[in-house]
Chains A and B, each alone.
Chain A
Amino acid sequence: MTSLAAAAPIVGAAFIASSVEVVEAFTIVLAVAVVRGARPAALGAAAALAVLAAVVAAFGPLLASVPIHGLQLAVGVLLLVFGLGWLRKAVLRAGGVLALHDEKAAFSKETAALRESIAHDKAADWLGGVVAFKAVLLEGTEVVFIVLAVGARPGLLVPAALGAAAACVLVLAAGLALRRPLAKIPENSLKFLVGGLLTGFGVFWCCEGLGAPWPGGDWAILGLVALYLAAGLALAGVLRRSAGSPA
C-alpha cells in the first residue's frame, strides 16, 4: 500500500513539473496553429505524444526488472542532478541574476521565426507540423523522465502518471479556452518548487539505494524538500540584497 507521505509529493512533483513543460510546449504549438492552422499543429503534437507513449510503454516495464536498490540509487542520482540544475537556475532567476522566462516573448519569437521560414518554404504545413512535433517531444521528454523517475518505486508510477496527466489536461483546457500563451503562470516559482522537490527526492533515494535509510521513512522527503526550498529562498534573498547594495 502506497503511503500518503510517499504519494502526495510524487503527485505534486509530477503535476507541477509537467505544468511547466506543457505550458512551454503549448506556446510553440499555439504559434504553429496561429501561423499555419490547427491541423499541422495538432498532427505534430499528436505524433510526438505517440512517440513519448511508446517510450513509456517500452521503458516502464523494464524498470520493474531492475533490483530496487540499484534502481533507487540510479534514479536518485539522476533526480538529484536534474533537480539541482532546476533549483540553481530558479534561484538565479529569483535573485535577478538571470532573466525570467517570458511566454509572450517566446510566442512572438516562435511566430516570427515560423513566418520567416514559411515565406521561403513551399511545404509550410509539414514544417509547422515538425516544429510542433519537436516542441512536444523535447518538453515531453522531461515530463517522461520525471514521471518514470519519481514513480520508480512499487505502486508510485500510477500516482506520478496521474499527476502529469492532470497537468496536461488543466494546461491544455486553460490554453484552449484563452487561445493565447499562458504568460500569467508563475513559471519560475513552479520551477523553484520542482527543483526543491526533485532534489529532495534525489537525496532521499540516493540514501535508500546506498542502504542508509532516513529516520522517519517517507516523511523525511517532506523535510528534505523544505530544507532545499528554504536554502534556495535564502540564497535568492542574498542575491537580491547584494544586487541592491552599492558596489
Chain B
Amino acid sequence: MVSAVLDPPAPLVKARGARIDAQGVSHWFDVSGSALPVLDNVDLHLRPGEFVALLGPSGCGKSTLLRLVAGLEPASAGSLTHDGRPITRPDPSRIVVFQDPTLFPWRTVRDNVALGLQARGVLSTQAARVDEALALVGLTEFANAHPHQLSGGMAQRVALARALVNDPSLLVLDEPLGKLDSLTRMTMQGELVALWQRAGFSALLVTHDVEEALFMAQRVIVLSNRPARILAEFDNDLPYPRHRGHPRLAELRHEALRLLGLDASW
C-alpha cells in the first residue's frame, strides 16, 4: 500500500499551493425562521503549500468552514479569497475529499477518477492523467472495477485520485479517514502526507482526531464548540516523515486536549 505511493511512475502534479485567506468569516443557518450561528468571526490564513489541520469537537462547524472555502456555499459575513481573488463558487483548483468517498456507483473506478477532466471537457486530451492518478494511489489493477467491489480504504483512495487528477492547488480534506479502520487509517495518513509533499498543493484538513491532526499537519487550529471560534493555534515544526512516538507529539497532544477541555483523561 505504502510502496505504491513511494515509488510512483511519474510525478503528477507540479502546481504551486494556493494561498487562502478567510477574514472575519461568520456563518449561520436558517433553522425554521431563526438564525443558528455556526461560525463566529473566524480568521484563517493558509500559506502556499502549507498543511493546516482544523481540530474541533464534532458538530462545531468545521465542515461548514470547509464548504465556504470550497465555494459550495457563500459565507453569511466576512471575506474569503483564493490567491487574492474572492471565492464565489466551486472551482476545480480547490478540490474537496469528503468523509464518504461518494464515488458514483454507476461508473467504473477509472471513470470516477476521470470525472473532473470530463466535466471540464479535457478528458480526450488528458486521458493519461487518469492512469497516472490511479498509479499514484496504487489502484491500477482496479481501474475497471465498480465502487461496490472496493473496500472502504480503496474507495477513499479512488476519491483521492479523483481529486489529484485535477491538479488542485488546494486539497480540502473533510475527515477523509473518519470511517476507516484504524490500521488503514494510519497507512493512509502517511500516504496523504507523502502525496502532499510531492505535489506541493496546500492542504486543509478537518478532523476531530487530535493525533491525526498533529501527525499530519504543520499547523493545527483548535476550534471551539458551536458557533466555532478559533481557540488556539500552534505550529508543529517536526520534520517529515514523522514518528508517532515522538515526545514532541505527545506534548502537543496534551496541549490540544487541554484546550478542548479533555485533559483530565490524559
Do A and B interact with each other, yes or no? Answer: no
Which residues from chain B sit less than 8 Å from chain A, CB to CB? Answer: none
Which residues from chain A sit less than 8 Å from chain B, CB to CB? Answer: none
